[in-house]
Structure 1
Amino acid sequence: MQKNITATIITLNEEKHIREVIENVQKVCDEVIVVDSCSTDKTIEIAESLGAKVIKQKYLGDGGQKAWCEQYAKNDWILSIDADERFEDEALEMIESIDLEKTQYEGFSFRRKSFIGKKYIRQWYPDRVVRLYDKSKCGYNTEGEHGAVQTKNFQELDVDMLHYSFTDFGMLVRKADRFAVNLAHVRYKEGKRASWYDPFLHGMGAFFKGMIIKGGILGGLHEWHVGFASAYNAYMKYVIMLELQENENNE
């Protein structure tokens, strides 16, 4: 049953995903808005054929793009979803059951099951994210590589989203490299500084957290690949911060 909820989806060349994600959220939302960053494939054509409202906007960053599209939603309640995500049926049923007019919460968070190709990544679970929220009371931050809804008044729902994060490990490495560089610069601009031991400490910490604390060691060989990739990503973030500090001191 559709409710007074607007689904928002940001896209760039997502013709492989856009039909499934729109049909997924249309089960509970009476409006779907797609904010597209100049796709050159059939993303816009498919979205419009399914009844979605398409708005073109140059990419403002993850949080910036999601915050920008809120102004076009006819409803206060927003269901934000990426093109590579889906809500499981149980999650959709949970959304239907919430009385949004009487709730004391500003938002609701969901667990995410993430995949690389068809391989489920145990150590990334539950990776909670607030995706259903009242735009009149809270919204997305506009800084950093990944946006997040800024509210402390949310309820954790024990239901899952599916997140088809990466098509393969090559895509993981490419995005991880970009993320490490961008995050290092963001932290540096925020005034954060690194010590010589931070690359080692955080690299080993990331591996230990994923493989031991989050149970990656109980998975297959692919979990080890992810564990080492996470360690490398954390290590390089602090290496880049040290480099920025060194360049500053040499000026």
Structure 2
Amino acid sequence: MAREPLSVVVTTFNNVDTLGACLDSVRFADEIVVLDSGSTDGTRELASAKGARVHEQPFAGYSAQKQAAIDLATHRWVLLLDSDEALPAAAADAVARALDTPAVAGFVLLRREWVFWRWQPRRARLNHYVRLFDRSRARMSGHEVHESVVVDGPVRRLDAVLDHYGERDIAGRVDKANRYSSLQVRDRRTRRPSFLKARMVVYPTVAFLRYYLWRGHWRGGWAGFVAARVHAFYAFLKYAKLYERERSGGQRDIVGGAERGDE
């Protein structure tokens, strides 16, 4: 029996530096759909040269933009990638095999992170996300940030690891922390966390220890330490910005740093 045809879906904005490796890693797919939001660096031209079907629309937010890209796919089964991710050969084989007889509605893939100047250590915990799914039974969560695929049906973990190149330097990671913390405040327009000031004091330390010790990034030397510190700063910013909004009486919505970044 032939495998289910596959659409690979990628959203982009000025990602010419990483998109080529991403698209090269999924050449086995039956189609590649790229939805761009106004790139000026040759991203769309590169995607076309790599054989992708390229569309363009203004950025609608991370979740909505990805849903729009998914809706452009021709096939029922979709592999959703970020433009700075790539499938190693073993992961590509695992994805292709999974589509031979997909008895579930979606598959979870693990993701290995590039941390500044090195890959995360082998025994550090890997992030995991639903990325391969039957789009007739799935949708994006709708969150402003940390958006995810919500699947109506059983999900199984696939023996496949994505490579994520992410932020190549500390400045990029700090910029992302600032942008994402602002988007987290937008997500919580109608929800005020309890003990907000206590969270602002305590939670950054909890976030650091969880990332550095529990998730095992202490094995990554100084790269892991710096990443854990930035993660703690992100945790602080979320609650500090919520407190700022509260002190302003809700009159000042948090917008600084919330603009679109690289997809």
- TM-score, normalised via structure 2 length: 0.87
> What does 1:64-83 correspond to in 2, within 5 Å?
64-83=64-83
SS in 1 for 2:166: strand
- Residue aligning to 1:233: 234
Distance (Å, rounded) in 2 between the aligned partners of 1:229 and 1:25: 32
SS in 1 for 2:137: coil
The unaligned stretches of length 5 or more in structure 1 are: none
Superposition deviation, residue 159 in structure 1: 2.0
> What does 1:63-212 correspond to in 2, within 5 Å?
63-99=63-99, 102-122=101-121, 125-151=125-151, 153-187=154-188, 189-195=189-195, 196-212=197-213
Divergent runs of 4+, >6 A: none
Instruction: Please say if residues 114 and 124 of structure 1, whose CA atoms lie closer than 8 Å, have aligned partners that are also in contact.
Output: no
Instruction: Please say if residues 130 and 149 of structure 2, whose CA atoms lie closer than 8 Å, have aligned partners that are also in contact.
Output: yes
The verdict on how the C-alpha distance between 1:17 and 1:249 changes in structure 2, with shifts beyond 3 A counting, is: closer
Instruction: Please say if residues 34 and 53 of structure 2, whose CA atoms lie closer than 8 Å, have aligned partners that are also in contact.
Output: yes
The verdict on how the C-alpha distance between 1:182 and 1:249 changes in structure 2, with shifts beyond 3 A counting, is: closer
Point out which structure has higher relative CO (alpha carbons under 8 A, 6+ apart). Answer: 2
Q: Percent identity?
A: 23
Q: What amino acid is aligned across from residue 244 of structure 1 in structure 2? A: R
Distance (Å, rounded) in 2 between the aligned partners of 1:250 and 1:87: 45
How much is the aligned-residue C-alpha RMSD, in angstroms?
2.2
Superposition deviation, residue 2 in structure 1: 8.2
Instruction: Please say if residues 61 and 142 of structure 1, whose CA atoms lie closer than 8 Å, have aligned partners that are also in contact.
Output: no
Instruction: Please say if residues 203 and 232 of structure 1, whose CA atoms lie closer than 8 Å, have aligned partners that are also in contact.
Output: yes
Superposition deviation, residue 107 in structure 1: 0.8
The verdict on how the C-alpha distance between 1:153 and 1:82 changes in structure 2, with shifts beyond 3 A counting, is: same
Distance (Å, rounded) in 2 between the aligned partners of 1:128 and 1:121: 14
The unaligned stretches of length 5 or more in structure 2 are: 253-263
Instruction: Please say if residues 112 and 125 of structure 1, whose CA atoms lie closer than 8 Å, have aligned partners that are also in contact.
Output: no
The verdict on how the C-alpha distance between 1:228 and 1:117 changes in structure 2, with shifts beyond 3 A counting, is: closer
Superposition deviation, residue 55 in structure 1: 0.2
Instruction: Please say if residues 133 and 139 of structure 1, whose CA atoms lie closer than 8 Å, have aligned partners that are also in contact.
Output: no
Q: Which moved more, 1:163-172 or 1:192-201?
A: 192-201
